[in-house]
Structure 1
Amino acid sequence: MVVLFVLGKLLLMRWHTDRVPGGCSSGSAVAVAGGMVDFALGIDSIGGVRIPGAYCGVLAFRPSHAVVSNSGVIPVAPSLDTIGWFAKDPSVLHRVGHLLLRLPYAGIRQPRIFYIADDCFELSKIPARRLTQVVTKSVEKLFGRQVRHVNLENYLSSRISSLGNYSNGHKNGDSKFPLLLALCNSMISLHKQEFKDKHMEWINSVKPAVDARIVSDLSEDGDSDIDGCQNVRKEARSALSGLLKDDGILVIPTALGCPPKLNAKELSSESYNSQTLRLLSLASMSGCCQVSIPLGTHDKCPISVSLIARHGGDRFLLDTTQTMYTTIQEQVEILAKSSVSSKQAMNEEAAEAAKEKGNAAFKEKQWQKAVNFYTEAIKLNGKVATYYSNRAAAFLELTSYRQAEADCTSAIELDSKSVKAYLRRGTAREMLGYYKEAVDDFNHALVLEPMNKTAGVAINRLKKLFP
């Protein structure tokens, strides 16, 4: 593995003389990237396969923990170690996976839903749209369904209660996404303690040429709470399994951004490394399977996105990767050629995100907050009827009937078949005393949707009051 790491550095110089190739298995990644081999293996405990794959622009697969035998492999941290593999061709990645996982033949199962982890993409140094739009468009084209946005901090906060013991790591003001930071701290603690258990006696007796800082860190007094870390692992696996079930996919950035430059300050930055490890800790601590998929380049450097499936969902993830890969690369090409419309696409994605936040606020009965989010969506993309109709619903709750009427009119101008817009405008006009116009709106809603009970009840009510 040392030979492969050195080889990785030398080979990478052919393309990026000033960039690092990744982690401990970077030699394998670069050998694949350089066309020397069709596939190669690597060890991934806390990112040793995923990061080199991302930095070298190749497919990298970390299987579910313990599904591929580690027999004959020198352990790093047994609770985290996995045997991963690299390939440029998704068919090769798929075939290698089936051999290593010893999978029998079975039909391909399509994914039910894709979750984009918005908070994870906030950590990325690459614009989120550049990464998520490719996945979103590919999912829509292949499976005909929208992705959903999720905030992992919020989802996991009530599901991994044992993380409280690892939440004291806010250094240098680094308090963004504290739960992911605590998960990262737990992973580092477990990794360090298990490595010490396996190798510290040998290091002390042989005294190999190891960086003094590493030896010093390993020699620090105090043992980690292994039982606590294992509890975190169990809860993390249960939480992600509950979210993804058998046919869900979680989408996150593989790395923070482009490969760092050689000797760059961020390589020794605790904050930078902590943010990178937060992304990696999700699969490492839950034991879920993860694949890093290249998405072309940014600033002439490889970038990627990762898909995560539940623990044991390796076949499903391999099948999904093979199914999506060609379409993803097509979308990368389309995005690269659409620089003129990139701002519009970015605004459209931001508008959708704002709408989702507005919907969440509306469900929580935070009407003014919902109005603000819908307004933001309209400013970003004023051609979507739903944004106006949704804001009208919030205005109705605030008894702002004129604003609600105006928004519904705008929605109807954009989409003349919007039943909700007619219903809401009818409600607003009824409250404003425009009874004839309100009846007209409710009648129009019935023309579009003859069995609509809300419209029928409203018409009967108004006819009784004003025959």
Structure 2
Amino acid sequence: MALDPSVWRVRPEPGPLTAPTGSGVLDGETVAVKDLFAVAGERIGAGNPAWLAAAPVAQEHAVAVARLLDAGAALAGIAQTEEFAYSLTGANAHYGTPPNPRAPGRISGGSTSGPTTAVAAGEASIALGTDTGGSVRVPAAYQGLWGIRPTHGAVPDGGLLPLAPSFDTVGWLTRDAATLARVGDVLLPADTAALPDQAPLVLSDALLALAAPEGRDAVGQLARAAGAQAIDWAPEPAWLAAFQTLQAAEAWAVHGGWLEGRMDTLGPAVRGRFERARAIGAADADAARTAVGQARAQIRERLGERVLVLPSTATVAPRPQEAEAAREATMLLTCIAGIGGLPAVSVPVTTAEGLPAGACLVGPAGSDRSLLELAGRIGA
């Protein structure tokens, strides 16, 4: 099979790129690694050819990569990301947009786009990615996969190229709940806030209303079947504004030094985001950081020990010409877990039209393992 450069940057035939270094619960599994993680003997490309050309060869694996190898998984290859993981569509101006095997003609979702497509297409069984503003949950929903954004900081990020450290998390996607949980057994610490066996689920009509009817109906049906109770939780545009400002300020703090004088190496959409990020002053960044801290406290207090069920995205996977239209509504949904630093599992659901969508379960900080177990029961 010919390598699709929109999906894979490095994938040897015959593979794997890296054999397992141990044996364990992931024996026989294969991993598509997002091109932000260090893989020994390879460069981090970050979706940008100029960055790739200047990057040093990694001397050792990223922590998450090493743990997967030690548990028996093999690295199938390094899969594409949108530039510096600063987008949610899946489109890369240099390498193209990975296809969506579960919804042909529609976008893959990003920025964990290449690894997600690889798993959806059966070319790997685990996608190792990152989620800053929804970059695991969005492609999971668009391609009908299981995906988790863990509690912020739960999985070590050593060897990961950052975007916005206040929100960056190491996440993963699989085709089934059991494999998602087995990866969690390898990467996650023990729960510090385990959910009870009968975890209270809650559902907000106001958050549901952010999604288009087809996805809203599928998510609502799953939530109500699981016994979710209605609560009053309205979307907070001010939270999203603070999130986006702080994310942008941190993205420029991380990458601005290299990008000065190299902005022309970026595709138009990502370049526009970095140009806006460059214009954010210190006072605005500090105000956003304060607002995010206050919002985090409010989100955690409002959630308490419950599990919030909401749409993973505002729409099913859009067609390419519609890709940016639902971004704001989707981020109103995804920013809740991002700001809260909370674990979020995207459970695949199917619309009446047969398209993939996602129901997102957001739990208390430190409830990752029991949230995975709950998601598996609900989504079975």
What TM-score does the superposition give when structure 2 sets the normalisation length? 0.70
Residue among 303, 321, 329 paired with 1:275: 329
Deviation at 1:116, TM superposition (A): 0.2
Residue among 308, 319, 325 paired with 1:261: 319
Aligned to 1:45: 132
Deviation at 1:113, TM superposition (A): 1.1
Aligned partners of 2:162 and 2:254 also within 8 Å: yes
The 1:46–1:10 alpha-carbon spacing in structure 2 relative to 1, beyond 3 Å, is closer
Give the Cα separation in 1 of the matches to 2:354 and 2:141: 14
Deviation at 1:312, TM superposition (A): 1.4
The 1:283–1:221 alpha-carbon spacing in structure 2 relative to 1, beyond 3 Å, is closer
Give the Cα separation in 2 of the matches to 1:136 and 1:219: 44
3-state DSSP of counterpart to 2:320: coil
Residue among 191, 200, 203 paired with 2:256: 200
Aligned to 1:191: 247
Give the Cα separation in 2 of the matches to 1:113 and 1:73: 35
Residue among 107, 111, 119 paired with 2:198: 111
Deviation at 1:107, TM superposition (A): 9.1
Could you tell which deviates more after superposition, 113-122 or 28-37?
28-37
Deviation at 1:226, TM superposition (A): 3.6
Deviation at 1:224, TM superposition (A): 5.4
CA RMSD in angstroms, aligned pairs only: 2.5
Deviation at 1:303, TM superposition (A): 1.1
Give the Cα separation in 2 of the matches to 1:76 and 1:105: 27
The 1:311–1:227 alpha-carbon spacing in structure 2 relative to 1, beyond 3 Å, is farther
Aligned partners of 1:59 and 1:86 also within 8 Å: yes
Is 1:85 aligned to residue 172 of structure 2?
yes
The 1:108–1:92 alpha-carbon spacing in structure 2 relative to 1, beyond 3 Å, is farther
Is 1:321 aligned to residue 375 of structure 2?
yes
Give the Cα separation in 2 of the matches to 1:236 and 1:187: 9
Give the Cα separation in 2 of the matches to 1:207 and 1:104: 42
Aligned to 1:347: none
Residue among 223, 228, 231 paired with 1:135: 223
Give the Cα separation in 2 of the matches to 1:288 and 1:104: 13
Aligned partners of 2:191 and 2:368 also within 8 Å: no
Amino acid at match of 2:284: D
Aligned to 2:115: 28
Amino acid at match of 1:252: L
Aligned to 1:290: 344
Give the Cα separation in 2 of the matches to 1:43 and 1:20: 18
Residue among 309, 331, 336 paired with 1:251: 309
Aligned to 2:272: 213
The 1:288–1:105 alpha-carbon spacing in structure 2 relative to 1, beyond 3 Å, is closer
Residue among 342, 365, 376 paired with 1:311: 365
Aligned to 2:9: none
Aligned to 2:208: 121
Deviation at 1:252, TM superposition (A): 0.6
Give the Cα separation in 1 of the matches to 2:357 and 2:283: 35
Residue among 57, 64, 68 paired with 2:151: 64
Give the Cα separation in 1 of the matches to 2:108 and 2:365: 28
Deviation at 1:133, TM superposition (A): 1.7
Could you tell which deviates more after superposition, 29-38 or 230-239?
230-239
Aligned to 2:80: 4
Deviation at 1:243, TM superposition (A): 3.5
Give the Cα separation in 2 of the matches to 1:191 and 1:229: 9
Aligned partners of 1:32 and 1:38 also within 8 Å: yes
Deviation at 1:300, TM superposition (A): 3.5
3-state DSSP of counterpart to 1:263: helix
Give the Cα separation in 1 of the matches to 2:332 and 2:199: 26
Kindly provide the CA deviation profile for residues 319-349 of structure 1, in whole angstroms up to 9, marking residues without a partner as x.
Answer: 21122221xxxxxxxxxxxxxxxxxxxxxxx
The 1:38–1:109 alpha-carbon spacing in structure 2 relative to 1, beyond 3 Å, is farther
Deviation at 1:79, TM superposition (A): 0.2
Amino acid at match of 1:251: V
3-state DSSP of counterpart to 1:186: helix
Aligned partners of 2:345 and 2:362 also within 8 Å: yes
Residues paired across the two proteins, number: 288
Compare the two structures and name the one with the higher strand fraction.
2
Structure possessing the higher radius of gyration over alpha carbons? 1
Compare the two structures and name the one with the higher helix fraction.
1
Give the Cα separation in 1 of the matches to 2:116 and 2:344: 16
Aligned partners of 1:232 and 1:285 also within 8 Å: no
Deviation at 1:15, TM superposition (A): 4.9
Aligned partners of 2:194 and 2:370 also within 8 Å: no
Give the Cα separation in 1 of the matches to 2:191 and 2:204: 32
The 1:84–1:276 alpha-carbon spacing in structure 2 relative to 1, beyond 3 Å, is same
Structure 2 unaligned residues grouped into runs of 5+ = 1-34, 36-46, 48-78, 82-91
Deviation at 1:302, TM superposition (A): 0.9
The 1:82–1:221 alpha-carbon spacing in structure 2 relative to 1, beyond 3 Å, is closer
Kindly provide the CA deviation profile for residues 169-201 of structure 1, in whole angstroms up to 9, marking residues without a partner as x.
Answer: xxxxxxxx5xx1111101100110000111111
Could you tell which deviates more after superposition, 102-111 or 198-207?
102-111
Residue among 228, 240, 246 paired with 1:147: 228
Residue among 157, 163, 187 paired with 1:100: 187
Aligned to 1:239: 298
Aligned to 1:400: none
Residue among 222, 229, 232 paired with 2:281: 222
Could you tell which deviates more after superposition, 24-33 or 127-136?
127-136
Structure 1 unaligned residues grouped into runs of 5+ = 140-145, 154-176, 327-467
Amino acid at match of 2:310: I
Aligned partners of 2:103 and 2:317 also within 8 Å: no
Aligned partners of 1:190 and 1:226 also within 8 Å: yes
3-state DSSP of counterpart to 2:171: strand
Give the Cα separation in 1 of the matches to 2:272 and 2:193: 49
Kindly provide the CA deviation profile for residues 85-116 of structure 1, in whole angstroms up to 9, marking residues without a partner as x.
Answer: 00111111011012111338999831331110
Amino acid at match of 2:188: L
Amino acid at match of 2:255: H
The 1:130–1:196 alpha-carbon spacing in structure 2 relative to 1, beyond 3 Å, is same
| Structural mapping, 1:364-443, within 5 Å | none
